[in-house]
Amino acid sequence: MSKTVVEVKQLTKVYKDHEAVKNISFSLEENKIYGMLGRNGAGKTTIMHMLTSQLFPTSGDIEVFGEEPYENYSVLNRICFIKESQKYPQNFRVADVLEIASKVYPMWDEAFASRLVKAFDLPLKRHVKKLSRGMLSAVGIIVGLASRAPLTVFDEPYLGLDAVSRQLFYDQLLADYSEHPRTVILSTHLIDEINELLEHVFIINKGELMINEDVETLRGRALTISGHKDQVAKFTAGKKVIAEVPFGVFQSSTILVESGKNDKAEATEMGLEVTPVSLQQLFVHLTGVPIEQTEVQS
């Protein structure tokens, strides 16, 4: 059985009069990549701040590596938290940031960090205050990856990063994780980009934990059916449609799978193409405006 790395029980955070996190409980297993998803203001950063001991909960319990994390050095030096707008002392050069990180994180891999610096094309001698926004994000990503911290948390670490650099991050994370498994939490709004990375997903909605599921189980909740629009309409009649994409006489529709029904077999028998649903579509459906409430523009 997998070891539990984080155990959160009935966690609540109230900022003055705003309840940002509402009575959330979950656990994280060793050596898994988790996605923390949610719309703006859902409470993701607040949860990650509490997990990494940067913020006290209003109520509830958090155990990390079996202990309370607060001011607990033996726990904290096994956690690496990379924030969206990670700040570094203004007089630091890139090399200084990496030097400090190498001292803070016991599992730091110097050679890996150097490879990443080359891959992201980062100027080691440049002051962090002179870096572009994307370069600054790359510094955080390098620290997060090369730290090899047993609990690594990336909170939207890609601000300003171009698509090529983001892909580099995902590729490096996956390759290094397969050689050196650890527990990773990734919070992002670019859900389709990280689809393949995630094993388990938490969806936070207005401070509540709405979904706590393995990605495969979650994906199994819906199917995308494509084919001639008349056939698709026949198939989807009476079903819960969460997305529709017309394309001339063709159409793709995404439906929620009803338990006990074999929608996949039924669609295949009707000659329709069946493809797995994208995580992003499901996310939009679960946390957004239902399709029947959206106005279709003609």
> Which positions lie near ligand ATP, rule CB under 6 A?
15, 18, 20, 38, 40-46
Rounded to 5°, angle at Cα 135 from 161 and 46: 65
Q: Which residues of 219-239 are buried (b: 16+ CB within 10 A; e: fewer)?
A: bebbbbbbbebebbeebbeeb
Nearer of residues 40 and 178 to ligand ATP, judged by Cβ: 40
| Residue 204 CB, nearest approach to ligand ATP (Å) | 6
Could you tell me the smallest distance in angstroms from the CB atom of residue 232 to ligand ATP?
A: 34
Contacts with 121 (C-beta within 8 Å, 6 or more apart), sequence order: none
Q: How far is the CB of 236 from ligand ATP (least distance, A)?
A: 32
- Quote the tokens at residue 135: 């370069």
Rank residues 40 and 91 by Cβ distance to ligand ATP and give the closer one: 40
Element (H, E) at 177: helix 163-179
Q: How far is the CB of 157 from ligand ATP (least distance, A)?
A: 12
211 versus 267: smaller Cβ distance to ligand ATP:
211
Would you say 25 or 262 has its CB closer to ligand ATP? 25
Please, what is the minimum distance in Å from the beta carbon of residue 215 to ligand ATP?
20
Report which of 181, 163, 215 is spatially closest to residue 37, judged by C-alpha positions: 215
Closer to ligand ATP at the Cβ: 41 or 106?
A: 41
C-beta neighbour count of 14 within 10 angstroms: 14
Q: In Å, how far are 117, 120, 168, 198 from 144, measured between CA atoms?
A: 13, 14, 14, 17
Which of 165, 236, 202 shows the shortest CA–CA distance to 27? 202
- Give the integer Cα–Cα distance in Å for 158 and 85: 9
> In this structure, how many other beta carbons lie within 10 angstroms of the beta carbon of residue 154?
25
Closest contact distance (angstroms) between CB of 212 and ligand ATP is: 16
When the beta carbons of 45 and 53 are compared against ligand ATP, the nearer one is 45
